[in-house]
Structure 1
């Protein structure tokens, strides 16, 4: 894509969201951004190893989708999973410790950056291979229906959100799972985070039909395109999708048009993308946009937003201290978590 970006307009008005709700969204996005910035610092200092894929720029998608979900709903992620986990409620210190490979990490230091997991928070994990998590998400959605229809669970049905990138939309598992989810009317939301690039391949060069949301039509589920740099727009379409899923009407495919501000991973020099393209998307920074919305509509003051930023920075700093001071896994426990006890 060039710098002339056309994005859909679907957003909330001031009267459709409370002050408390909008500040929760703002704090969550600021947390995601600060956490990832600190990850970059720690990686270049040699505190993290392997591949680390950061989420900077895409925060409106994670926040806009996950903050609509209930605590007992499910989220399935990709290798760009830190911020999804944060939005789902996994404590920053446990994620940071995992990135450091420490025993106190949410995956006991065995998963690392691409395999953040938390059963307690119904976070089904990050998956290193594209499309690998979508069948897992389908399984979670199926068990929600099974618990309700066969086991007689009285609680409202659990919804699953499956995140994946634009490159995944050309993968067979994507199409197979769309088909299966419609056949069984599964309570699942497919969220395509179209950040325009699959590693070094521009999206429009890799697919015969660039509008991913239109692929839903072939399988009979709604396909929605949304401005993924506008958290309020993402929230609005997600609320509709969640209501549809809980009522038994089945899945929805959401294509969020967004952009990663950094390279594919911290090992990527990011020399393939044009500077004009980057600048055009960075001018649409989702955190700045929400901050401006809050100030322009007199929802809260800049001073209050600064307090939130300071709170988040302290939280992330404490996560770093926790990770640094945590114990390394014991070599004697090398095979400890391979099998269920």
Structure 2
């Protein structure tokens, strides 16, 4: 969780360093839009702790925490975000289109796009007779997309080894759940497809870990899919530059930060002390700054190669 947050803080710093005047998202070291995951670290940590890099993960347009927790190379991911030739997609995809065959990780800017590919991966794992699984992550707003329901139906029908995870951060861009979704919990929708569904409250990493453990074990045992909805927190804007005028609870957000809250719990339990907290933060900072330095030191793609890797 600390590594994920340290990374997002560094990307936030580099992204805003040279966007002015007038906040031009096309300018600077990190071009394009940016969607950061601060506050949603318990989802990534609690779910991915049960996975290996042989398992597949499909993520959303807010993917960094999940990529990090699943073991995507930090340097190559950062180079991709910076649009550099050493990036995962040789700088062509950017932060919303990370693709890493080494860890079976992918993400997309298209809402609910990751669900059907996760089914394909799960189907391949099943046909090969392995115990590998796929995890498909999306947001609570995307649970109203057709791909969400089609994927749950087919996964249940074929008993595919897939875990569906909905990150409920309360805001589908700027739209609250009550204005867009007919049910209070997307986990209740699992019942329509005859699969287990569970909602995890309070952005609690240990509760996420426990719920994900059961779902992953079920998938590995050939018992089919599960649906988890995790109530989490988007601490920052939907995108960088979002004024967030639609959020009446914005002043309360810092007090709900899951990282200091969990640190406090671990200190009370005698698991952490000042020295260990400092070591964790120092190690995370070193890894992140090394990745940023690697990205900054990498070449940008030659403009003459713009059509390479596009046509066959």
**Paired residue secondary structure (2:107):** coil
CA distance in 2, matches of 1:91, 1:227: 31
The one of 263, 288, 291 equivalent to 1:316 is 288
The one of 61, 74, 77 equivalent to 2:56 is 74
Return 5+ residue gaps in structure 1 as ranges.
1-28, 149-155
Moved more, 199-208 or 189-198: 199-208
Q: How far off is 1:51 after superposition?
A: 1.0
The answer as to 2:195 corresponding to 1:221 is yes
The answer as to 2:236 corresponding to 1:262 is yes
Q: Residues 40 and 65 of structure 2 are in contact (CA less than 8 Å); yes or no, is this contact kept in structure 1?
A: no
What is the aligned partner in structure 2 of residue 251 from structure 1? 225
Deviations 1:61-93 (A, max 9, x none): 011101211221110011101111111111221
**Paired residue secondary structure (1:312):** helix
CA distance in 2, matches of 1:71, 1:92: 14
What is the aligned partner in structure 1 of residue 178 from structure 2? 204
Deviations 1:98-131 (A, max 9, x none): 11100111111011010011001111x1111101
**Paired residue secondary structure (2:47):** helix
Q: How far off is 1:283 after superposition?
A: 2.3
The one of 86, 108, 114 equivalent to 1:127 is 108
CA distance in 1, matches of 2:51, 2:202: 17
**Paired residue secondary structure (1:180):** helix
What is the aligned partner in structure 2 of residue 8 from structure 1? none
Q: Residues 61 and 228 of structure 1 are in contact (CA less than 8 Å); yes or no, is this contact kept in structure 2?
A: no
**Paired residue secondary structure (1:283):** helix
The answer as to 2:121 corresponding to 1:146 is no
The answer as to 2:11 corresponding to 1:39 is yes
**Paired residue secondary structure (2:290):** helix
What is the aligned partner in structure 2 of residue 14 from structure 1? none
Q: Residues 230 and 289 of structure 1 are in contact (CA less than 8 Å); yes or no, is this contact kept in structure 2?
A: no
Deviations 1:7-38 (A, max 9, x none): xxxxxxxxxxxxxxxxxxxxxx1111111111
Deviations 1:117-147 (A, max 9, x none): 1001111x11111011110111111111111
Q: How far off is 1:281 after superposition?
A: 4.3
CA distance in 1, matches of 2:108, 2:184: 24
Deviations 1:312-332 (A, max 9, x none): 111111111111110111223
CA distance in 1, matches of 2:81, 2:299: 13
Q: How far off is 1:339 after superposition?
A: 4.9
What is the aligned partner in structure 2 of residue 64 from structure 1? 46
C-alpha RMSD of matched pairs (Å): 1.3
CA distance in 2, matches of 1:94, 1:247: 34
Structure that is richer in helix per residue: 1
CA distance in 2, matches of 1:285, 1:251: 31
CA distance in 2, matches of 1:187, 1:243: 10
Q: How far off is 1:336 after superposition?
A: 2.4
CA distance in 2, matches of 1:122, 1:74: 5
What is the aligned partner in structure 1 of residue 134 from structure 2? 160
What is the aligned partner in structure 1 of residue 206 from structure 2? 232
**Paired residue secondary structure (2:4):** helix
Normalising by structure 1, we get a TM-score of: 0.86
Deviations 1:238-278 (A, max 9, x none): 0100110011110000000011000100021111101xx23
CA distance in 2, matches of 1:228, 1:334: 46
Return 5+ residue gaps in structure 2 as ranges.
18-27
CA distance in 2, matches of 1:107, 1:34: 23
**Paired residue secondary structure (2:276):** helix
